[in-house]
Structure 1
Amino acid sequence: MSTRRIIFAYSFVMFFLVIALLGTASAALGGSTYTEAVGRQSMYTLNVSKARGTIYDRKMRPLTNASEKFIAAVIPSVESISRLKAVTKEEQREELRTALENGKPFLTEVTSPVNSDGVATFTVYERYADAQPAANLIGYLENGTSGADGIEKSFDRILSENNGEIQITFTIDALGQAISGEAMQVENTYRIADGGIVLTLDREIQAALEEACRSIQKGAAVVLDCASGEILASASFPAVNPNHLDDCMENPDAPFVNRALSAYAPGSVFKLFVAAAALEEGVDYQAEYLCDGSITVDGMEFSCYDGKAHGAVNMHTALRKSCNGYFVKLLEKIGPESVLRMVRTLGFGSSLELAEGLCSDAGTLPTAQTLENARARANFSFGQGETTVTPLQLAAAVNAIAADGIYTKPQVFLGTADTNLDVLEAEKNEGCKVMEPTTANRIRAYMESTARFGTARYGAPENCTCGIKTGTAQTGVHAENGEEILNYWYAGYLCDADDNPAVTLVILEETAGESHAAEAFRKTGETLVDFI
């Protein structure tokens, strides 16, 4: 071989050796565009939705996670974006254009499902409806994840353990764009959120109650099942909006307050329990009192409503006409101790715990020492002075009258549900006798007379038998217009087709103007007939 050929061969070998070395160094240093792209391929994950355990009503209908929407996971392309334009809102169009330019996988809400190359649609839950049923009882979340109030807080552990989610993973290149031909990888544990807890509420009854009470700006309403004491519906007005908590904070009417669990002066509805205590003591219920419109006690005049004289009244007609003077005298006859014993057995003065951390106010009762004062006793006899009760306490007490003298502590938790919707039922509250059936029956007769002919006739439903007692309690608080804010009460029960008490209904309204409590009771009652 000639020297020239040897030099040429040597040079040729060295050239490719250098090229190989440069290639290796380039790969190590990331200098090659191709090698860089391969080396920087990665997985890109989008969280489509997370769902918290569901809260159900007594018939396994969801109270949360009841609303649905569609979320599309999209690999941007001219074709996929074109398909999305038909199922997105006008304000989303600019976002779609930008997404196409970026080329990065993204999520967007759509009005109907789209499933094609580059697009996968998922049905996901919205935690709360725009008009969330039983909003104040259900509660709301903190930072969208943990329970901050109500049932959400009480059962946070169970509801959190039933979290489900949908995640989608894409393979993307160095520019963050999905690599063509690579399938989306979906991890879907959403069904876990079908597990949760079951409440005693009835969603249809809840909706009927809230609709009938729409005209009440501040107040509360409660419906109990007479036989079990279970809470079928509970509402507070104005209701908290769990989707717009910031707006609620600015509302001067305090929608965060659950008024169904807050204490108020009961006014004349308290006379039911003074009468019950008197009947238990064997008082002559036919004995008459002559009412001239007011009664003076220890130098203080106590008027009947509007100062109206009722004439000769006995227990029946005094309840029907809501005569204050009769009950002042009745309490003096039996003594306040017997009334205190009665109302304490009915839950007054004690907080009602519905779930861990979810309790009603205890309310207040005057002490025996306070009731040594004649004026205090007079106020006590018709539900004024230091006496306060919650709508839930009052509903449970009236329910004892409807249930032949059996008091049952109200219950809202029915059990837990697994992902197959099999329910593990909680222990039910047991009732206890607080008055004789004859006492309860007589009080019911008086309440039904009050509904037909007395102060409650304006709020009595026309399509069922019912018993009602009304009350108007002074608060001593005045509105900006100078008018005193009053607590208007309608408390009673509704009967089924056989005239047996089926549900107890209590409505409270706080207002310095015209009361809508009677209208709300009547509308609720006429609607609930379809469910009892």
Structure 2
Amino acid sequence: MQKRAVIIYSIIILMFTGMIGRFYSLAMGDMLAQAADTQSAYILDVAKSRGLIYDCNLNSMVNTTKKTVAAVMPSPEAMMALTQAIEEGEEIVIREDEVKPYTVNLEKTSVYSKGVEMFDVWERYAPNQLAPHIIGYLNPEGSSGAAGIELAYDELLQQYNGSLKLRYMVDAYGQAMTTEAPEIIQDNFESQGGVVLTLDSTIQRAAQRAMKNVEKGAAVVMDITTGNLKAVVSMPQYDPNNLAESLKNPDSPFVNRAFSQYNVGSTFKLVTAAAALENGAGRYNPYTCKGYIDIDGHIFYCHYRNGHGEIDMKKAVEVSCNPFFIQLGLSAGGKNIISMARDIGFSKAAQLSEDIKTQSGTLPDEKELASDTAVANLSFGQGKLTATPIQVAQMACTIANGGYAITPRLVEGFTDDGKEIYEHTTIYSPVQVFSKKTAQALQEFMIGNVEEGSGVNAKPDYCTAAGKTASAQTGIYEGEEEIVHAWFAGYFPAQDPKYAIVVLVEGGDSGSETAAPIFKQIAESIYLYEKD
């Protein structure tokens, strides 16, 4: 009986051992088969894609130019074809010792050969990229956003990531099999989803063209009703395709000057005028400019030292008379001027997305304004006052639209297909900060400045415009000469306003000579574009 039990037990052990061996054999067979499949294929990355960034008309502002990528399967024929391309001027490196497929970029020639596959793929950024300070750039690996919209909406843009790959069959030694063409693998490579901006590519291009000779400065185009930014230019621009080279530029190309705070000078006289008119000042009240004004023993000079003689508010804006606005500001009161400035948007950073905002600018506090000399400085745009080109554009919009302060806006919404916007960002309602009567008076003053005042160089050939010049003192000297920032802030058309345009040129000669002609060029370009 015991012997029989031993025999049965042995049989059971043998059966289980056999089953385990069989299972192991099957499992190892599957693993070896999978390994064989893996080893018999080589995947080559040709290109990667990412969510797009659109303008307000759903025109892509990235992926606008193409490059040719050649996928090379090493072979004598392919090497010969690449050598010929080099002889024709192509700057590529042949990997003579490489046995696996690889890619090269072709800029001047095409390579037709067995073992070479060519693909036209999108470059993320164009050689003269539109709005680089807004679009931003990617990290060195190209895997995520590092600045601008690329960074602010990186998570959303990565949702539309895609790739173009080639699958080569290789032998046991890892060498590609030349008898078989590679399989093209596209994974979401043509996705059209992304972020939609308020910018208009055509207006942006026109503004960049007008600013091309400016070493350091900014230009802003803003819709006077919605606050939508249509163009944002900062000079110098950086090259998103060559960040290392841009870093060598001593003029700080990575600074977005449109979002940076500056001394604003005489453009602020319009705020002083608005505060005075809202507090009972008469627009026709005469004042005699003698070329200077004495405030508590401090002499403030007019740019026209001989004096303008008897002038009213309209004429004072046209000729940009400092003494007039000093006495006007003192009569209006520093608190009223500051209150008006804040209502318009001065000293408030514009939050254009969760991660993109401008600098806030500065206004003197009430304690500082206890001094008449401080109020005098503020009244004609000097002293402890700074503002961004965006804020100066807000001021121009408020005047042009009848007295309503608007909120700047950069991001329109989001799209899945590049054809429709599935979600819009918040649009803030304008807030009335001064009366229509005051707005109409300021509009008349600004039209006069362009028609027959310091802003005549801003007058477009094809339409009317309104604006104000400024040559803002900085307190910074090169040798014995003070650096001046040249401004022009205005809008057009004068009779039926649509856009505010602000131009800033660091170290410019004057608002009249340097900034005003750029305003004119931008306004004319927009007029002709929208006329068509």
1:519 lines up with 2:501 in the alignment: no
Aligned residues: 490
Distance 1:516 1:430, change over 3 A: same
Unaligned runs of 5+ in 1: 1-37
Q: Which moved more, 1:192-201 or 1:104-113?
A: 104-113
1:471 lines up with 2:467 in the alignment: no
Cα shift readout 1:69-105 (whole Å, capped 9, x = no counterpart):
1212232345555666777774558745x55x74532
Distance 2:462 2:165 in 1: 53
Residue number among 104, 107, 113 corresponding to 1:108 in the alignment: 104
Deviation, 1:483, is 2.1
Conservation of the 8 A alpha-carbon contact between 1:478 and 1:512: no
Conservation of the 8 A alpha-carbon contact between 1:484 and 1:512: no
Name the aligned partner's letter for residue 118 of structure 2: T
Name the aligned partner's letter for residue 173 of structure 1: D
Distance 1:272 1:513, change over 3 A: closer
Distance 1:115 1:200, change over 3 A: farther
Match in the other structure for 2:184: 186
Distance 1:222 1:200 in 2: 13
Unaligned runs of 5+ in 2: 1-35
Distance 1:321 1:94 in 2: 61
Match in the other structure for 2:506: 510
Name the aligned partner's letter for residue 496 of structure 2: N
Distance 1:506 1:512 in 2: 14
Match in the other structure for 1:140: 137
Q: Identity over the aligned pairs, expressed in percent?
A: 37
Residue number among 110, 115, 119 corresponding to 1:118 in the alignment: 115
Match in the other structure for 2:254: 256
Distance 1:172 1:482, change over 3 A: farther
Deviation, 1:387, is 0.7
SS at 2:523's partner residue?
A: helix
Deviation, 1:464, is 0.9
Deviation, 1:438, is 1.6
Normalized against structure 1, the TM-score is what?
0.87
Conservation of the 8 A alpha-carbon contact between 1:352 and 1:361: yes
Conservation of the 8 A alpha-carbon contact between 2:222 and 2:500: yes
Conservation of the 8 A alpha-carbon contact between 2:115 and 2:178: no
Distance 1:256 1:482 in 2: 29
- The equivalences for 1:476-515 within 5 A come to 476-479=475-478, 481-495=479-493, 499-511=495-507
Cα shift readout 1:43-76 (whole Å, capped 9, x = no counterpart):
2221111122111111111111211112122323
1:57 lines up with 2:55 in the alignment: yes
Q: Which moved more, 1:102-111 or 1:422-431?
A: 102-111
1:325 lines up with 2:323 in the alignment: yes
Distance 1:58 1:366, change over 3 A: same
Match in the other structure for 2:412: 414
1:150 lines up with 2:148 in the alignment: yes
Distance 1:198 1:216, change over 3 A: same
SS at 1:478's partner residue?
A: strand
Conservation of the 8 A alpha-carbon contact between 1:192 and 1:419: no
Distance 1:69 1:374, change over 3 A: same
Distance 1:439 1:412 in 2: 29
What is the Cα-based RMSD across aligned positions, in Å?
2.3
Distance 2:413 2:233 in 1: 21
Match in the other structure for 1:457: 456
- The equivalences for 1:244-283 within 5 A come to 244-283=242-281
1:442 lines up with 2:406 in the alignment: no
Distance 1:87 1:56, change over 3 A: farther
Residue number among 366, 374, 381 corresponding to 2:372 in the alignment: 374
Name the aligned partner's letter for residue 277 of structure 2: L
Distance 1:301 1:493 in 2: 34
Deviation, 1:206, is 0.6
Distance 1:233 1:282, change over 3 A: same
Distance 1:40 1:397, change over 3 A: closer
Cα shift readout 1:380-434 (whole Å, capped 9, x = no counterpart):
0001000111000110111011111122101010111113533222232321111
Deviation, 1:304, is 1.1
Distance 2:148 2:92 in 1: 40
